[in-house]
Amino acid sequence: MSLTLTEPVNRTILLLDIESFSKRDDVEQAFLRRGLHSVVEDVLAEAGVEPDRQYREDRGDGLIILVSADIPKTALLRALLTTAPDALRDYNRVAASSAQMRLRTVLASGEVARDPREGTVGGLVGHDLNQACRLLDADVLREALKQRATDCVLCVSTPVYEGVVRHGHRGLRPEEFHRVDVAVKTDRLEAWLHGPLPQRASAAAAASCDGGSDSPAGGTADASIARNRVTEGGGTNITVHGGSLTFGGSQVNGDQIGVSGGNVTGDVVMGSVQRGEQGGR
Q: Which has more pLDDT, 227 or 193?
A: 193
Say which range, 75-79, 85-89, 254-258, has the weakest mean pLDDT: 254-258
- CB count within 10 Å of CB 179 equals 18
Say what the pLDDT of residue 122 is. Answer: 76
| pLDDT > 80? residue 247 | no
Residues 11 and 31 sit within 8 Å (Cβ to Cβ): no
For residues 68-90, average pLDDT: 97
Question: Is residue 129 within 8 Å of 13, Cβ to Cβ?
Answer: yes
- DSSP letter for 220, please: B
Residue 216: per-residue pLDDT: 39
Residue 208, pLDDT score: 53
Q: Tell me the per-residue pLDDT of 253-276, one tens digit each, with 9 for 90 and over.
A: 444 444 444 454 455 444 444 444
Average pLDDT of every residue of the chain? 80
Mean pLDDT of 55-84: 96
CB 218 within 8 A of CB 174: yes
Residues ≥6 apart with Cβ < 8 Å to 127: 110, 111
Residue 5, pLDDT score? 84
pTM assigned to the model: 0.71
Torsion sign across C-alpha atoms 134, 170, 48, 40: positive
Residue 187: the pLDDT is: 78
Say which residues have a Cβ less than 8 Å from residue 104's Cβ, sequence separation at least 6: 16, 17, 19, 136, 141, 142, 145, 152, 153, 155
Helix residue ranges per DSSP H, the chain: 26-46, 73-78, 84-94, 127-136, 139-147, 158-163, 199-209
Query: What's domain 9-209's superfamily in CATH?
Result: Nucleotide cyclase, GGDEF domain (3.30.70.1230)
pLDDT at 63: 96
Higher pLDDT, 235 or 141: 141
Domain residue ranges of the chain, discontinuous segments joined by +: 9-209, 226-278
Whether the predicted pLDDT of 212 surpasses 80:
no
List pLDDT tens digits, range 121-168. Answer: 778 999 999 999 999 999 999 999 999 999 999 999 999 999 999 999
Structural element, H or E, at residue 276: none
> Is the confidence at residue 101, as pLDDT, over 90?
yes
